[in-house]
Structure 1
Amino acid sequence: MTTTIELMRAHRSIRKFTQEAITPEQLSAIMAAAQSASSSSFLQASSVIRITDTALRQQVMALCGNQDYVGSAAEFWVFCADFHRHLQWVPDAKTGFAEQLLIGAIDTALMGQNALTAAESLGLGGVFIGAVRNEPVALCELLSLPKGVIPLFGLCLGHPDQHPEPKPRLPASMMFMENGYWQVHSDAGMKEYDEQVRHYYQTRTGGKKDTSWTGQIGETLAREARPFMFEFLQRQGFCLK
């Protein structure tokens, strides 16, 4: 096992940070690693908004469900899919296609994962924030995001002030398949995994949370999340055709 693999396998989300700042050298290294991520057709369809203004950070935090670590982390970045830049330099470029949403989302996710892995290699920690999509219109106005740009997720970065255990992942046999999709999985395997997840939550919360993976998924997928999203995407010039 290499140190890179060990680092990636040791990943856990950090939501509590010390007051120590991230150095300019560390920031530069993380940014360089993020930019080195793969890019579909070399479109580089991503932009990152670094929130350094304290008052602005508080406003962003309010739009993200008032998750306090959005305000307390040393760094908070908003990762965006961005085709505005392409239209600025190539006005005749054809945009608005559904495939471009996928390209922007994939490119940006790869960039975000590179950033977090680089940060973890420097002894830092972080957590992704999907709640930047809670009130996307307000966030676009707050950050002056033009048409062709959509916020996808945030990233808190800082020096960890907690050391939670990594969450247990699904058995590899349920996620990695060969020569086709395996539609039937072991009930016993899922039952065992459910118990692992239940034990993880009970231990992490001191018994305050008692749920399995399938129980959590049942709650999460019981209703549509962010039903305004399609209208917002079209407002910003995505998924028009």
Structure 2
Amino acid sequence: MSHSAIQTIMNHRSIRKFKDKKLTEEQIQTIVEAAQMASTSSYVMAYTIIGVTDERIKEKLAAISGQTYVQNNGHLFVFCGDLHRTEQLGSQEDREQMQQSLASPEQFIVMTVDAALASQNAAIAAEDLGLGICYLGSLRNDVYQVSELLQLPERVVPLFGMAVGYPDHEPEQKPRLPIDVIYHENHYQPFEHQLPFIKDFDKKLHSYYEKRKQNNRNDNWSKQMIRKFSTPTRMDVGTFLHEKNINNQAD
């Protein structure tokens, strides 16, 4: 039975356990072509998608991430921000003139947004094909090693991965923040306006965590966020970006 795009989107949940069945070349091509149809800033298409099929590389990426489903899936995509391709189009003189722009924080935002938009198209396409997906920010646990494994040149950075495959479990759908917290009309609403809705959401999420079939626990969203941002993580990413000559603000 076919689903509308909205039904597919509304049914999303992260899949972390996949059947031992690889995607076909046709499925991979459809997912990538769907990704390419996403909007892109100034037609730059400042991203590259790397499909990882070498099991040795997948094993190393899984070790970096600490997540088995980075290796055990139907196909692994890595979404990279890419300004290398754009830089190589010009002559030596052109490249010298492009340096300041290519290294700017603005173009880092462009590559990140382009890749994110493409990946969401890919995710929806995969789910519409009856597959499951999981985003993998954990690849940034060692961004230097990931870059080395994937042989990424200057101005190409690994942003996140996406594991895709045939679901081997049916996780409950995790609640989202209320629309009153996320959507503000005309101007940013003060935190005091948002707080009652967040408190209600914390109660809802606490109930979800207590009742879900796997990994149930006593927790809520506010506690999670405080824990997350109280312990700095992946602090080497900024240095890595500078060494790749990206996100460097001119003096």
CA distance in 2, matches of 1:77, 1:23: 14
Q: Which residue of 2 aligns with 1:97?
A: 104
What letter corresponds to residue 136 of structure 1 in structure 2? V
How do 1:1-241 residues align onto structure 2 when only pairs under 5 Å count?
3-65=4-66, 67-91=67-91, 92=94, 93-94=98-99, 95-183=102-190, 184-205=192-213, 208-241=216-249
Distance 1:231 1:187, change over 3 A: closer
CA distance in 2, matches of 1:61, 1:222: 26
What letter corresponds to residue 43 of structure 1 in structure 2? V
Q: How many pairs align?
A: 239
CA distance in 1, matches of 2:183, 2:248: 34
What letter corresponds to residue 56 of structure 1 in structure 2? I
For structure 2, the residue ranges without an aligned partner over 5 or more in a row are none
TM-score of the superposed pair, with normalisation by structure 2: 0.91
CA distance in 2, matches of 1:53, 1:14: 22
- Shift of residue 103 of structure 1? 0.3
- Shift of residue 207 of structure 1? 6.8
Deviations 1:50-97 (A, max 9, x none): 1001111111111222x1000101111110000011111124233101
Distance 1:142 1:207, change over 3 A: closer
Distance 1:178 1:186, change over 3 A: closer
CA distance in 1, matches of 2:145, 2:21: 30
SS of the residue 2:230 aligns to: coil
- Shift of residue 141 of structure 1? 1.1
SS of the residue 1:164 aligns to: coil
Deviation beyond 4 Å, 4+ runs, structure 1: none
CA distance in 1, matches of 2:179, 2:69: 31
SS of the residue 1:134 aligns to: helix
CA distance in 1, matches of 2:154, 2:194: 47
CA distance in 2, matches of 1:16, 1:88: 40
Let me know the Cα RMSD of the aligned residues: 1.4
SS of the residue 1:185 aligns to: helix
SS of the residue 2:71 aligns to: helix
For structure 1, the residue ranges without an aligned partner over 5 or more in a row are none
Mean Cα deviation higher: 86-95 or 99-108: 86-95
Distance 1:79 1:222, change over 3 A: same
